C-alpha cells in the first residue's frame, strides 16, 4: 500500500461513516498524541537494553499502535496536502546539513545539544 492509497482509503472510510466532521487538524493532532502515548506505555518501565525484546503479544500490540500512528499522521497530513514520506525525505536532507558526520561523530556526550534523529 502506498501513502496515496492509504489517504484515499481513509477518506472513503471516514466519508462512509460521516466522521469527517470530527477530523479537524486540531482533533487529529490530539488523537495522534494519544496513539503515540500508547507506544510510550509499552516501553515506560522497560530497561533500555531490554526494550528491543518484546513478547509476541507486546510486539503485536506495537504493530497495531504503529499502524494507528501512521493512520492519524496520514490523515492529518492529507488535510494540508502533505505526503508524510516526502516530508520525511525533505527533513532528512535538512538533518544531514545540520549535523555533519565529521563534526558530530563520536561526540555522543553532546548528542542532546546536537539533537539528531
CB of 97 to a copy of itself, least distance (A): 12
CB of 30 to a copy of itself, least distance (A): 4
CA distance 71 to 24: 14
CA distance 70 to 7: 11
Helix (H) or strand (E) segment spanning residue 112: helix 111-114
CA distance 57 to 64: 11
CB of 46 to a copy of itself, least distance (A): 6
Amino acid at each position: 500500500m502506498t501513502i496515496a492509497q492509504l489517504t484515499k482509503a481513509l477518506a472513503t472510510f471516514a466519508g462512509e461513516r460521516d466522521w469527517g466532521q470530527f477530523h479537524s487538524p486540531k482533533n487529529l493532532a490530539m488523537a495522534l498524541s494519544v496513539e503515540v502515548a500508547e507506544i510510550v506505555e509499552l516501553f515506560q518501565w522497560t530497561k533500555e537494553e531490554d526494550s528491543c525484546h518484546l513478547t509476541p503479544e507486546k510486539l503485536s500490540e506495537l504493530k497495531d499502535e504503529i499502524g494507528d500512528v501512521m493512520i492519524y499522521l496520514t490523515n492529518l497530513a492529507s488535510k494540508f496536502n502533505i505526503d508524510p514520506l516526502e516530508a520525511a525525505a525533505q527533513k532528512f536532507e535538512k538533518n544531514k546539513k545540520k549535523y555533519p558526520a565529521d563534526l558530530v561523530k563520536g561526540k555522543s556526550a553532546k548528542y542532546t545539544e546536537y539533537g539528531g534523529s
